[in-house]
Amino acid sequence: MDKATLSFVTMLCFVVSLVVAKENTQNVHFYDEDVENYDIETIDVYPVSQSKTLKRSKVSRSRSMVLSAPPVAVENDKPYEQKSTTKSAYNAMATKGTGPIISTNDISIKIPNSNNADSKADYIYLYFNPDKRLRLYGEPCEWGTVIINGFPEPVVTDWEFPKNKTIKWNLNSYATFLKSVQQDDWDDIVLRTVSSDGIKIERVIVNHSGEEILDYKPNDWLDKPNDTYLNFAYEIIKEKMGDLNNPKNQVVIVGLLELGKTDGYKYGTGGEWCSEFASWCLRKAGWDTPTGNIGSDDMIDFFDDKGRLYSRNDVRNKTYVPKAGDYVAMDWDGDGEGDHSLIFSHWKGGSVPSTITNNTEFRTIEGNVSGGAVRTRDRRVGDILNVGKAQ
């Protein structure tokens, strides 16, 4: 077995072990817990279709909803290291391990048009970890009235999950809760029911920071007591790996696993973190790249010192052709200074172009982009400043 194959097998075994460990940890906790234990942090979430305050009169504790979307970071698809979110601003938005709310964060489920697929259950649970969950309510099916300040107001008294229906929940409307969720907890979300009136789930879609991290068709039951859980850790990994062009490249694999995450501290700093993210991915594959609060100049110097640095002209004339997992510094304004760092994934079209020009495009994995998240993007050779050979 060659070194590349051995490295890939090692990485794959590591990823699988993480999934199994998380599933086992969560399931043990879930089976032992009191599902209505109020010590577990729980927030009530109502479907997007409900746009006014709802108050549930059937239970003793208040369950009200006021839709108020939090401010989200301005999206910039060509970020400058010098113009990214400052560290003080970042600290005001999130604590270490979490991250600011960026773009869309939502979940939707589709219930098929089949016999008994619907349910009279009021809600299901969405777990991010065993101690943090959202209570996702279905569609209102019964209404009543209460007197508020002397005037009758409509209230929902019952919810349901009707068949042949897609229900969507906008998580951005619950900013305080969402900002407290650890970014890595998005990797192994779980749906759970506490009702014996089961729901058949045809499809589940989850968006995190505007990145679709799950589009899965389980076509399975969420039903107590036999099918109480649907764990999506494995499916989320497969979804993120959907853009994987070279299955043996560890740098690309670890980068794709981070899609949608906004926690710059994980990669090195709470401020500008595009270079920190690129370096973090390379270190996961065994490179001793710079750590801490760094910039593209640090990464350029690293590869230059090792005799592995190439210019845009080198790429155009094919003196060196970038490969999956290589480091790339971008120069948006042509001033000869690095403005942004990223990881090269693959050439558009899947293979090396016969001719490489300024307009030739390639796919990337990069951090702190479009509002401050990990994303894949298509970039132009004409914007390259340098390439660091990492293969």
Name the domain boundary from 184, 212, 241.
241
205-253 residue pLDDT tens: 999 999 999 999 999 999 987 778 999 999 999 999 988 877 779 999 9
Do 199 and 281 have their domain in common?
no
Residue 86 lies in a domain: no
Name the domain boundary from 241, 274, 305.
241
Structure confidence at residue 224 (pLDDT): 83
* Predicted TM-score of the model (pTM): 0.80
Do 276 and 383 have their domain in common?
yes
Do 41 and 117 have their domain in common?
yes
Residue 183 lies in a domain: yes
Helix axes 3-32, 233-240, angle to 10 degrees: 150
Do 270 and 227 have their domain in common?
no
118-165 residue pLDDT tens: 999 999 999 998 889 999 999 999 988 888 888 888 888 899 999 999
User: Does the structure show a pLDDT above 50 at 366?
Assistant: yes
38-51 residue pLDDT tens: 457 788 888 986 54
Do 14 and 122 have their domain in common?
yes
Residue 85 lies in a domain: no
Structure confidence at residue 243 (pLDDT): 80
Q: Total structural domains in the chain?
A: 2
Pairing of strands 41-45, 132-137: parallel
298-310 residue pLDDT tens: 999 999 999 999 9
116: number of Cβ within 10 Å: 12
Alpha-carbon gap, residue 201 to 117, rounded angstroms: 8
| Between 60 and 87, the higher pLDDT residue | 87
Residue 371 phi, psi dihedral angles, 5° rounding: 100, -15
User: Does the structure show a pLDDT above 50 at 108?
Assistant: yes
Q: Supply the range of the domain harboring residue 163.
A: 3-67+103-241
pLDDT band, very low/low/confident/very high, at 359 (cuts 50, 70, 90) = very high
Do 185 and 294 have their domain in common?
no
Do 281 and 191 have their domain in common?
no
Q: Which residues contact 29 (CB under 8 A, 6 or more apart)?
A: 130
Name the domain boundary from 178, 211, 241.
241
Residue 127 phi, psi dihedral angles, 5° rounding: -95, 135
Do 165 and 32 have their domain in common?
yes
